[in-house]
């Protein structure tokens, strides 16, 4: 028996070929030679579907049937035709046939093909978009997987094979739009020279159903067009944009539209000319309307003077509800601050009812350990989408307030800030691929659970051996809670190092700097306690939520403990539900976070025989960094907050391995963060 299992392991190891992670979840085995036909005149899209299935589908013959159906343009049906021992994928558009083909292959890869298939799917959101914060010089703002995928210097002549691979990966999970450039937009993207490059990408993406959008700099008519201003009510400005739109659509007839970050973090906008967000957004919407384009206008605005940054997007945008054109959608970050490991949802969801609102998630891990930490983000996305806003009775989840169903909006969208880059494995960390995957799958169908998505991702990306699947799934599903524990438990937030946001710096303070960029503004630690009072006695941000959420969040006794310090300034000796004091619970939470990551290491090391050496080692090394970082976070935060609480760290907890003053000396430069961390921590 022993020899047998040893042999099996050797054989398994032998079969696992050397690999670099570049294939993502698309690891179909070739030469299937299936019998695939289509009743439709071939288009590039249908050809892709035919070719994917012919090569990789190992089941009964498949007919791709295009006909008018009840499902939306992108919906499809897969049905078994038992009589003829065949299958049909039925849809009303070519792209939906391709989505059906990828779904069939997913069923095959995940062992879900049954004799009697009868599946109907239709996406929940109309636009399922990646936002790339890629700059024209090839760098990526908050990107942790190398340089930009877009080789602007080489375009339009040299074409990287990755462009098509990127489109294919997105199509396989139903992502149908991409914003190519950073919201901190360089006006140059709108020059004829760059538009020619954009056109080449759009042409490659089109057969995969991927629509191209651009982020635009609101000052473009001035900086690029030479006009004296960019005032949205200046007819010359509108004329400039009209001509620009005409130029774009001449090159890219199905161009999606503009994404705009205006009057936020130093970007120009309509307020520079005494105009409002409505004036700015509507001017651009009118320009795009004849071509069928839309404007995604971001609500990420906050002024340095405010008493509470968390309230600002709501205060700024609520008065404009219903005043935007019907091709404008307001893009709102999932939480009121900025992509923290945990935030309550933005109060704008459910509150803005007359204007469509879309969620913006961050797939790239700006505040979650970059591409060093294994954090499966699906539970974060799911938590937000399934949060009930109580806007209209009991079932007003964020998902329903944004998918067009609850308020009857014509357009609906969801965006994720991409984590892709030039790294061979696309995302830096092999497990970060799961976050791209999960975003796509949830955008298609937010009723899928994080567990289901992890299950299918692991089976496709690694293997379906129970001994691998179950522990790794468990690891993934607890990873988000772990990062919350070792970075910012109980609702603490924004205690990250200045600028690059890697590692803890709760002490970071400069009297002359914008206070809302500094951690003490958020944690407000003092000798009494810690946390931001957003209840009635404080900033009253809770009032922006519908009842009963406002009551629940505003009342310290009822407030969910994961948001306690988000909404309340809490005494160090305040008793939590489990009987511990706040101080002790903070200590145990940080300690628990460290333990969880140490457990992840133990789990992963046991997986060595089930995974190729390359990916095994990369993940192992990254888990080592994560474990050291978790200890760094724990020691930094506990030792710092202890200087206020003056209380002992419970004696059954592992003692700090750093000194506070040493940790306070760590200054990472963003470009060399990985090495710097290793050096300082190993010192």
Q: Which residues are near ligand GCW by CB under 6 A?
A: 133, 141-142, 183-184, 261, 265, 300, 338-339, 366
The whole-angstrom separation of Cα 682 and Cα 200 is 47
The maximal CA–CA distance of the chain, rounded, in angstroms, is: 83
Identify the three-state secondary structure at position 91. strand
Taken as a whole, the chain contains a residue count of 683
Question: Would you call the peptide bond into 105 cis, given omega within 30 degrees of 0 as the criterion?
Answer: no
Query: CB of 557: closest distance to ligand GCW in angstroms?
Result: 33
Question: Closest separation between CB of residue 141 and ligand GCW, Å?
Answer: 5
Of the chain, the end-to-end C-alpha distance in Å amounts to: 48
**d(C-alpha 364, C-alpha 436), whole Å:** 9
Kind and range of the H or E run holding 253: none
- Give the SS3 label for residue 45: helix
Which listed residue (308, 366, 403, 591) is catalytic?
366
Give me the least distance between CB of 197 and ligand GCW, in Å please.
21
Q: Which residue number, 415 or 482, has a Cβ lying nearer to ligand GCW?
A: 415
Residue 338: active-site member: yes
Between 53 and 310, name the residue whose CB sits nearer to ligand GCW: 310
Nearer to ligand GCW, 133 or 641 (CB): 133
Nearer to ligand GCW, 300 or 583 (CB): 300
Q: What residue number has its CB nearest to ligand GCW?
A: 338
Minimum gap (Å) between residue 188 Cβ and ligand GCW: 17
Q: In this complex, which beta carbon is closest to ligand GCW, that of residue 263 or of residue 581?
A: 263
158 labelled catalytic: no
In the bound state with ligand GCW, the residue whose beta carbon lies nearer, of 94 and 343, is: 343
State the DSSP code for 89: E
Measured torsion, CA atoms of residues 89, 94, 99, 101, in degrees rounded to the nearest 10: 50
Q: In this structure, are residues 621 and 613 in contact, taking their beta carbons and an 8 Å threshold? A: no
Minimum distance, C-beta of residue 41 to ligand GCW, in the bound complex (Å): 43
CA distance 456 to 254: 32
Q: Could you tell me which of 32, 204, 20, 207 has the C-alpha nearest to residue 105?
A: 32
Nearer to ligand GCW, 12 or 670 (CB): 670
User: Is 467 annotated as catalytic?
Assistant: no
**Beta carbon nearer to ligand GCW, 185 or 406:** 185
The smaller minimum CB distance to ligand GCW, of residues 86 and 184, is found at 184
The one-character DSSP state at 465 is: -
Q: Considering 65, 308, 338, 516, which one is annotated as catalytic?
A: 338
Q: Which of 137, 265, 326, 528 is catalytic?
A: 265
Minimum CB separation of residue 596 from ligand GCW in Å reads 26
Q: Nearest 5 degrees, angle CA 325-CA 338-CA 428? A: 110
Taking the C-alpha atoms of residue 430 and residue 618, their distance in angstroms, rounded to an integer, is 8
Q: Which residues pair with 129 in a beta bridge?
A: 177, 415
How far is 416 from 178, CA to CA, in rounded Å? 10
- Dist. CA 69–CA 67, nearest whole Å: 6
Smallest gap from residue 361 Cβ to ligand GCW (A): 11
Q: Least Å distance between CB 276 and ligand GCW?
A: 19
Prior bond to 85 cis, omega within 30?
no
Closest-CA residue to 261 (of 235, 284, 237): 284
Q: Measuring CA to CA, how many Å separate 616 from each of 210, 606, 608?
A: 33, 10, 6
Helices (H) and strands (E) in the chain, counts: 21, 16
Give the nearer residue to ligand GCW in terms of CB position, either 26 or 183: 183
* Nearest distance, CB of residue 336 and ligand GCW, angstroms: 13
Cα-to-chain-centroid distance, residue 577: 32
| CA-wise closest residue to 378 among 328, 317, 420, 440 | 440
User: In this structure, what DSSP letter does residue 337 have?
Assistant: S
Say how far apart CA 383 and CA 245 lie, in whole Å. Answer: 38
Instruction: Say if CB 378 and CB 450 are below 8 A apart.
Output: yes
Structure tokens at 531: 């946390």
In the complex, least distance from residue 143 CB atom to ligand GCW, rounded to whole angstroms: 10
As a whole number of angstroms, the distance between CA 448 and CA 469 comes to 18
- Residues annotated as part of the active site: 265, 338, 366
């Amino acid at each position: 028996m022993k020899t047998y299992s040893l042999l099996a392991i050797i054989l398994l190891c032998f079969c696992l070929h050397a690999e670099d992670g570049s294939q993502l979840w698309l690891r179909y085995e070739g030469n299937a030679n299936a019998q695939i036909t289509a009743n439709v005149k071939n288009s590039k899209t249908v050809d892709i579907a035919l070719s994917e299935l012919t090569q990789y589908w190992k089941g009964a013959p498949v007919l791709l049937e295009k006909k008018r159906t009840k499902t939306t343009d992108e919906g499809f049906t897969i049905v078994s035709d038992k009589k003829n021992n065949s299958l049909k994928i039925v849809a009303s558009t070519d792209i939906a046939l391709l989505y059906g083909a990828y779904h069939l292959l997913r069923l095959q890869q995940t062992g879900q093909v049954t004799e009697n298939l009868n599946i109907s799917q239709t996406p929940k959101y109309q636009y399922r978009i990646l936002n790339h914060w890629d700059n024209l010089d090839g760098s990526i703002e908050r990107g942790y997987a190398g340089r930009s995928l877009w080789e602007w210097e080489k375009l339009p002549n040299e074409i990287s094979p990755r462009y098509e691979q990127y489109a294919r990966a997105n199509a396989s999970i139903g992502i149908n739009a991409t914003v190519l450039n950073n919201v901190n937009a360089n006006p140059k993207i709108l020059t004829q020279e760059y538009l020619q490059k954009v056109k080449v990408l759009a042409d490659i993406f089109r057969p995969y159903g991927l629509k191209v959008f651009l982020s635009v700099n609101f000052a473009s008519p001035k900086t690029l067009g030479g006009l004296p201003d960019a005032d949205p009510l200046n007819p010359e400005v509108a004329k400039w944009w009209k001509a620009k739109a005409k130029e774009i659509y001449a090159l890219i007839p199905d161009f999606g539209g503009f994404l705009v970050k205006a009057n936020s973090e130093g970007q120009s906008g309509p307020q520079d000319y005494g105009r409002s967000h409505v004036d700015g957004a509507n001017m651009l919407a009118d320009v795009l309307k004849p071509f069928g384009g839309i404007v995604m206008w971001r609500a990420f605005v906050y002024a340095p003077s405010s008493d509470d940054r968390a309230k600002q997007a709501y205060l700024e945008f609520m008065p404009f509800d219903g005043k935007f054109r019907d091709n404008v959608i307001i893009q709102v970050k999932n939480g009121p601050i900025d992509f923290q490991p945990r935030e309550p949802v933005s109060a704008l969801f459910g509150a803005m009812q007359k204007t469509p609102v879309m969620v913006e998630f961050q797939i790239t891990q700006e505040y979650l350990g970059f591409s060093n930490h294994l954090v499966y983000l699906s539970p974060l996305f799911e938590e937000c989408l399934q949060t009930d806003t109580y806007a209209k009775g009991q079932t007003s989840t964020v998902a329903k307030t944004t998918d067009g169903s609850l308020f009857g909006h014509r357009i609906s969208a969801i965006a994720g800030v991409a984590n892709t880059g030039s790294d061979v494995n696309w995302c830096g960390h092999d497990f970060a691929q799961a976050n791209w995957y999960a975003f796509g799958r949830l955008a298609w169908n937010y009723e899928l659970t994080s567990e289901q998505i992890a299950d299918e991702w692991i089976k496709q990306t690694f293997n379906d051996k129970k001994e691998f699947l179950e522990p790794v799934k468990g690891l993934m599903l607890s990873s988000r809670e772990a990062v919350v524990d070792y970075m910012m438990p109980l609702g603490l937030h924004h205690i990250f190092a200045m600028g690059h946001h890697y590692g803890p710096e709760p002490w970071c303070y400069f009297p002359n700097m914008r206070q809302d960029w500094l951690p003490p503004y958020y944690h407000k630690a003092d000798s009494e306690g810690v946390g931001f009072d957003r209840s009635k006695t404080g900033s009253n941000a809770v009032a922006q939520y519908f009842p009963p959420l406002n009551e629940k969040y505003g009342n310290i006794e009822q407030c969910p403990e994961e948001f306690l310090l988000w909404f309340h300034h809490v005494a160090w000796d305040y008793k939590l539900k489990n009987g511990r004091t706040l101080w002790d619970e903070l200590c145990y939470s940080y300690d628990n976070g460290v333990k969880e990551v140490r457990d992840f290491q133990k789990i992963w090391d046991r997986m060595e025989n089930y995974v190729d050496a390359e990916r095994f080692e990369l993940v192992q090394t990254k888990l080592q960094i994560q474990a050291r970082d978790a200890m760094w976070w724990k020691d930094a935060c506990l030792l710092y907050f202890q200087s206020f609480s003056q209380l002992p760290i419970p004696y059954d907890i592992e003692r700090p391995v750093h000194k506070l003053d040493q940790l306070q000396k760590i200054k990472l430069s963003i470009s060399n963060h990985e090495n710097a961390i290793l050096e300082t921590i190993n010192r």
